[in-house]
Structure 1
Amino acid sequence: MSTQTPVSPQKTPKTGTVAQSHSFVAELLRRARGRYLSPLASLALFVVMFTAIVLRYDFASPTQVFLNLLVDNAHLIVLAVGMTFVILTGGIDLSVGSVVALSTVIVATALQDGWPAPLAVGAVLVVGPLLGLLMGLVIEYFDVQPFIVTLAGMFLARGLCYVISVDTLPIKDPLLRRFGLNYVYLYEDKFIRWTVVIALAVVVIVAYILHQTRFGRTVYAVGGNRQSAQLMGLNASRARVSVYAISGFCAALAGLLLAVQKLSGYSLNGIGMELDAIAAAVIGGVLLSGGVGFVFGSLIGVLVLGTIQTFVTAENLDSYWTRIMTGVLLLVFVLVQRLVVRKPG
């Protein structure tokens, strides 16, 4: 009579649990190696750079130095947020710097002509999205490359600035001056400005839209694979047009923030700012081919660029060093994306 050795019932569950744990860890590592690597690298770079600068120059209040980064770059944060939308679909928007300048000129001119501040601000917030909408329609329905269309939009917006005024136009409206000059005290003597409050609110709202709404998921899907998005029943055409209108709105809002920060409008504002917005998005981990990236990564990218500017100012270097260092960082992060980042499967 043969006997069989009973199999312990505890071995299979343990093996399964261990396998599941390994699978979970592998998935986390895969994601960290993919879409999260570039923003995490950007965050680590910012922390290292900011810490090194604080230790080197022994600032009296490192916290206020960080807050000043937000104050000085509030308009660029909003601009980078709009650029993130466009790049996520695989596009580009070269017109935003000129739209920033056009917004400052429009609001300053309207105020000088006696318009009420709310009406002048409203006019700016209509012109920007309208220009973006027109470019998006041309890109989508005439199948023209975004680079060409937005380049034309850049020339158009800059030319309109010169048509309206070539001089610096001061903003004397009491409401906008209070908005631009008043501090928002956080605790003790630490402060920001209202422009920062608006910029951070835009970041939070856009993060919610991108990650918690059907439109946001459509934007990611279109950037990842447009044909697959259409097969899933998503309206790729509407999403692609909408992101350019959103970028135009963000550019107009960024122009308003810059105008109240400088309390003036000038046709030469925003020259090269579209490149700063693209650089901030890419350094923050937004993949240029589309479908991968986070709006908070773009925020980190802006902080990295602001830290570079702080270093150049503290070292009393010529301003071109800011461009040199930004170019080197941009190239490094593009190489990181090329070699390591993979689109999620």
Structure 2
Amino acid sequence: MAAMTMTRAESRPSDDGPSRVQTFLSRHGGMMPSFAAVFILVLLFIGGEIFLRGDFIRPLTISNLLIDNAYLLVLAVGMTFVILTGGIDLSVGSVMAFTGMLGAKLLAEGLPVGVAVPAMLLGGAAIGLFIGVLVQYFGVQPFIASLAGLFLGRGLAFIVSLSSIKVENDAVLWLQSTRIKIGDWVITPTGIIALVTVAIAAFVLHLTRFGRTIYAIGGSEQSARLMGLKVGRAKIGAYVISGTCAGLAGLLLTAYSNAGYPRNGIGTELDAIAAVVIGGTLLTGGRGFVLGSMIGVLVYGTIKTIINFMGAEQAWMQIIVGALLLLFIVVQRAIVARSEGRR
């Protein structure tokens, strides 16, 4: 009897260990893909530093990740809202081009920034509202509805002008030309706008009723309805936010390139979707974090930076980026499946 008691007592510590791991995975399984994205980002930094012999991890290089990808970060923020509902928005690249052209055209005609910038944001919000209404009240699949928005945005961009429009407004150019130094680090107003957008989105998603409704819709839309949540308003709101972010991204890209161009943003919607998924947001909806989307943008930007440092051909850069993005998505989905299997 004593031997049996000792055996049971000795086995308890080993039994507690796995149970704690299982409990952690079951409670925090939704965060595992975001943790994986952070781990991947760290590995990229270490690999870049080793391969480039100590010439990669520098304040200026890391600062440029935000400066060069500020518009993509804003697009990813809006895309996060839509994907959390279980939807998709293929229109953001075209909307970004349209709003950039619209703003450049208004500024070229002598209208003040106080008119041009709100017009850009409202233009993006209007297309987002159009897509949201199609999805919610006409039962159109998000893929098809946002595809219609893609063609609408691109067509409107070409209606504004078939050629690029140079921006000479000092206030808009100031957003990108100004360098704010913090020690050895550098940031531009466009980068600050992108970070503020992330902060506002994180607050809305995690500390407001609207944000909780967004998560509930992605988890189970039918259950959200049974709980009395305003599903229709929240779904349309998600697409309006995505469109507004695309309008803001149009402003940032216009400031970055000093011009509006109707072909801007071709394929950028796929970059935004990839960054959001890399950051841990599931395409099925209901799980993900806007901060994870920011990590996804940094991962995406770091991959491109390393390949550029290597001097690879543009075509090979696209192939490598695509392969790595696919690998990250598969790994993260496997992590989620494993954590759900432990429950």
TM-score normalised per structure 1: 0.90
CA distance in 1, matches of 2:81, 2:266: 21
**Corresponding residue to 1:314 among 304, 309, 315:** 309
Q: Which residue of 1 aligns with 2:201?
A: 206
Q: Which residue of 2 aligns with 1:304?
A: 299
The C-alpha deviation readout for 1:281-319, integer Å capped at 9, x for no partner, is 111111001101111111111111111111111111112
Contact 1:287 1:337 in 2 (8 A): no
- 1:167–1:325 distance in 2 versus 1, CA, 3 Å: same
Contact 1:312 1:319 in 2 (8 A): no
CA distance in 2, matches of 1:315, 1:279: 23
- 1:56–1:226 distance in 2 versus 1, CA, 3 Å: same
- 1:59–1:30 distance in 2 versus 1, CA, 3 Å: same
**Corresponding residue to 1:98 among 90, 94, 98:** 94
The structural deviation recorded for 1:19 is 10
The C-alpha deviation readout for 1:117-152, integer Å capped at 9, x for no partner, is 111011101110111011101110000101111101
CA distance in 1, matches of 2:199, 2:225: 28
Q: Report the identity percentage.
A: 47
Instruction: Determine which structure has more spread, i.e. the larger CA radius of gyration.
Output: 1
The reply on whether 1:256 has 2:236 as its aligned counterpart is no
**Corresponding residue to 1:138 among 134, 150, 160:** 134
Contact 1:38 1:333 in 2 (8 A): no
The structural deviation recorded for 1:338 is 3.8
The reply on whether 1:340 has 2:340 as its aligned counterpart is no
Residue 180 of structure 2: SS of its match in structure 1?
A: strand
Q: How many residues get paired?
A: 328
Structure 2 residues not aligned, in runs of 5+: 1-13
More helix by share: 2
Contact 1:282 1:330 in 2 (8 A): no
The structural deviation recorded for 1:22 is 8.0
The reply on whether 1:43 has 2:49 as its aligned counterpart is no
Alignment-mate amino acid for residue 130 of structure 1: A
CA distance in 2, matches of 1:90, 1:323: 27
The C-alpha deviation readout for 1:22-59, integer Å capped at 9, x for no partner, is 86654223234x21111111111111111221232232
Q: Which residue of 1 aligns with 2:176?
A: 180
Residue 90 of structure 2: SS of its match in structure 1?
A: coil
Over the aligned positions, Cα root-mean-square deviation in angstroms equals 2.1
CA distance in 1, matches of 2:231, 2:19: 34
The reply on whether 1:127 has 2:117 as its aligned counterpart is no
CA distance in 1, matches of 2:130, 2:210: 20
- 1:20–1:233 distance in 2 versus 1, CA, 3 Å: farther
Contact 1:128 1:252 in 2 (8 A): yes
- 1:304–1:125 distance in 2 versus 1, CA, 3 Å: same
Q: Which residue of 1 aligns with 2:143?
A: 147
Structure 1 residues not aligned, in runs of 5+: 1-17
The C-alpha deviation readout for 1:69-118, integer Å capped at 9, x for no partner, is 01100000000010010000000000000011111101110011110011
Alignment-mate amino acid for residue 31 of structure 2: Y
**Corresponding residue to 1:269 among 256, 264, 270:** 264
TM-score normalised per structure 2: 0.90
